[in-house]
Amino acid sequence: MAKLNGNWNYYQWADCGKGFGIHSFLLIVALTCLFPLFWMVRSSLMSMDTIFADTALIPARLHFANYVQAWVDGHFGIYFINSVIYTASVVSGIVFIASLAAYAFSRLRFPGRNFFFYVFVLAMMIPLPGSFVPLYVMMNKLGLVNTRFGYILCMINLGLSMSILLLKTFFDKMLPDLEDAARLDGCGRLGIWWYVALPLARPAIAVIVIFNALNVWNEYILAQLLLNDPSLMPLQRGIMLFQGVYSVNYPVLMAGLTISVIPILLVYLLMQKHIVKGLSSGAIVG
Amino acid sequence: MKAKIGAFPYSSGMEALRCYAFIIPAVVIFGIFYIYPFFEIFNLSLRDWNGIDLHKTYVGFDNFRELFHDRIWGQSLLNAGFITFIALTLQNMLALALALACDRDIRAKNFYRVVFFIPPILSEVVVGFIWRWILNAGSQNGEYYGLLNYALSKLGFQNLAHNWLSNPDSALICIALVHSWKGFGWGFLMLLAGLQTVDKQLYEAARVDGAGSWSAFKNITLPLMMPVIWVVMILTVLGSMQVFVLILSMVGQGLVYHTEVPVTRILSAMTGTNRFGYACAMGVTFGAILVGVSVAFRALAGKMKPA
């Protein structure tokens, strides 16, 4: 961040008093972002007896048993592990497949290269909200409904276009010197992709990993259509199912929500600078 | 073409095949899971099919004709339009105001940036249930126990307390507001990134010329930011029109008519009444509307570009 000395002049209201106003505005909005999360955690620590009556910000007796109940009786343990499996396999699949394709689109020359690339780009631009209907029909025909494999393939497909586009723009900007050196040393295409391109593309891959991980972790609709077996469901689907069964057990529901939020929040806090980067490159692409 | 420098020359068909090997996994997955459904939806939209029978009766444009007279479908479009309108105005205005407030040397800037993007990373299911719990309005002994209603009655507005999510008048507004709450961080980050590319010397120059902050905003910031603003607006429209998981988690299927949006209509035509053809016709129509809207936005954006 460059030092913006002249900046306070431009908004004349940025003098001391106005600065106070700006900060209170920002703080209030920040509070409205954080408070619902706090309220979720707080409610997850109450019991069914007290949740409707006790209005204290922090309840007198913390009821951690809700987490055990959610994890075991609510099957959140299973959902959690499923979500981890889906996220890990989809993200690694996308990184592998998208980086191969993006490398080819950027560096290799073959007939139809641009055609295939534009198909991927165009697909990203055309919204087709009902496409889950024929997708479901096809998955049914292929016998991939209620299988982990089917869900993972569908989710890989969802992330492909964006990831290929991001990686291709990155590879395009990469200097070819290293690749030329590797080729002189006898590296083939695949070797160059693996030993040179992938390691260099680490920043772009970080962006792809975090965005796709968020996307898979939070995905709901395909999980609802494709997975009916509770032992295969990821968290979001599990939460909905749980809510249907224990309709108003709010403390345990909130404990379940907290369980599903913690990993994503941790990943976000650790990788937030990549998110900003990804968003600004997304803005250019969009 | 920059790529030529580092590119492999291909001489034989074998060489080209080796290159294709790189894109084959992506093309195969994309072909099966995106391209095929993409064309199949048009095919199915012309048929009457319950999803099970082997035979899919061809009915021409009957589904579309029926859709045209479907009042709930019309209402669902209006509902989505309302949510989009709130998102375009309230959410984007808030995002712009926050971005402007953050585009300076202020303390804790990074803190704000991190916090404002928390709602967007949460899933719609989670956001829906948290807010459902806050807005919840079950009552015990004549007293509402939802947090919002509790706060209202403590502040002396007992008469405002009511069933926010099961009241047709307020449910859609609540959904739109929660949707905006979830989304503004997106616009904020994109707009802030855009603002930071604006050359600060322009403001300096404007100030020397005696321009006030409003006129600096109107004559420098806005014109330079228009491309980013248009992108944010298009993404807001596409995202808000297609919102539905939030609705499922906030009100479920309770208020059918009042909180129905196009995607929930498609879903219930498919899983509720098993009318797959009709569901596809809805999808095609809705997709065409979205494409139309985003083309219109892009055209507008092009027209308003400073010559």
The three state secondary structure string of B74-139 is HHHHHHHHHHHHHHHHHHHHHHHHHHHHHCCCCCCHHHHHHHHCHHHHCCHHHHHHHHHHHHCCCE
Q: Do A36 and B38 touch (CB under 8 A)?
A: no
* Chosen domain end from A48, A67, A86: A67
Q: Do A10 and B122 touch (CB under 8 A)?
A: no
Mean of all residue pLDDT scores within chain A: 86
Check whether residue A136 and residue A159 sit in a common domain.
Answer: yes
The number of distinct structural domains making up chain A is 2
Q: What is the mean pLDDT of residues B84-94?
A: 95
- Looking at CATH, the fold of the domain delimited by B65-303 is given as MetI-like fold (1.10.3720)
**Which helix H or strand E contains B58, and what residues bound it?**
strand B57-58
Check whether residue A170 and residue A53 sit in a common domain.
Answer: no
Instruction: Please give the single-letter amino acid code of residue A86.
Output: Y
**Which helix H or strand E contains A67, and what residues bound it?**
helix A65-72
Measured CA to CA in angstroms, residue B207 lies from A15, A199, B200, B242 at distances of 15, 47, 11, 44
Check whether residue A148 and residue A47 sit in a common domain.
Answer: no
User: What whole-number distance in Å separates Cα of residue B61 and Cα of residue B39?
Assistant: 16
Cβ-in-10-Å burial (0-12, 13-18, 19+) of B261 comes to buried
Contact A162, A211 (CB under 8 A): yes
Contact A218, B123 (CB under 8 A): yes
Tell me phi and psi for residue B144, to 5 degrees: -70, 140
Check whether residue A26 and residue A100 sit in a common domain.
Answer: no
What is the pTM for the complete model shown? 0.88
Check whether residue A134 and residue A224 sit in a common domain.
Answer: yes
Instruction: Please give the single-letter amino acid code of residue B99.
Output: A
User: What whole-number distance in Å separates Cα of residue A158 and Cα of residue B63?
Assistant: 28
Does A3 map to a domain? no
**Structural domain harbouring A161:** 75-245
Tokens of B34: 């995106």
Does A52 map to a domain? yes
User: What whole-number distance in Å separates Cα of residue A92 and Cα of residue A100?
Assistant: 12
At A4-22, the pLDDT tens digits run 454 545 455 456 677 788 8
Please list every residue in chain B whose beta carbon sits closer than 8 Å to the beta carbon of residue A103.
22
User: What whole-number distance in Å separates Cα of residue A78 and Cα of residue A84?
Assistant: 10
- Spatial neighbors of A163 by CB under 8 A, at least 6 apart, are A94, A95, A98, A102, A208, A212
Q: Do A101 and B249 touch (CB under 8 A)?
A: no
At A165-213, the pLDDT tens digits run 999 988 998 888 888 888 888 888 888 898 888 988 888 898 899 889 9
We report the CATH number of the domain holding residue A174 as 1.10.3720.10
Q: Check residue B74 and give its pLDDT.
A: 93
Least Cα separation, residue B295 to chain A (angstroms): 10
Please list every residue in chain B whose beta carbon sits closer than 8 Å to the beta carbon of residue A24.
none
Check whether residue A49 and residue A141 sit in a common domain.
Answer: no
Q: What is the mean pLDDT of residues B95-114?
A: 88
Check whether residue A79 and residue A56 sit in a common domain.
Answer: no
Count of H-run helices and E-run strands, chain B: 16, 4
Least Cα separation, residue B17 to chain A (angstroms): 8
Check whether residue A96 and residue A237 sit in a common domain.
Answer: yes
- ipTM at complex level: 0.87
Please list every residue in chain A whose beta carbon sits closer than 8 Å to the beta carbon of residue B232.
283
Instruction: Please give the single-letter amino acid code of residue B224.
Output: L
Check whether residue A132 and residue A190 sit in a common domain.
Answer: yes
B57-58 and B47-48 beta bridge pairing: antiparallel
Indicate the length of chain A as a whole number.
286
Check whether residue A110 and residue A213 sit in a common domain.
Answer: yes
Helix B124-135 to helix A16-44 angle (10° resolution) is 90
Which of B37, B121, B130 has its CB closest to that of A134? B37
Check whether residue A144 and residue A235 sit in a common domain.
Answer: yes
Domain ranges across chain B: 1-45, 65-303
Does A261 map to a domain? no
Check whether residue A229 and residue A190 sit in a common domain.
Answer: yes
At A49-76, the pLDDT tens digits run 777 777 777 777 788 888 998 899 889 9
Q: Check residue A246 and give its pLDDT.
A: 66
- Chain pair A-B, CB pairs under 8 angstroms: 299
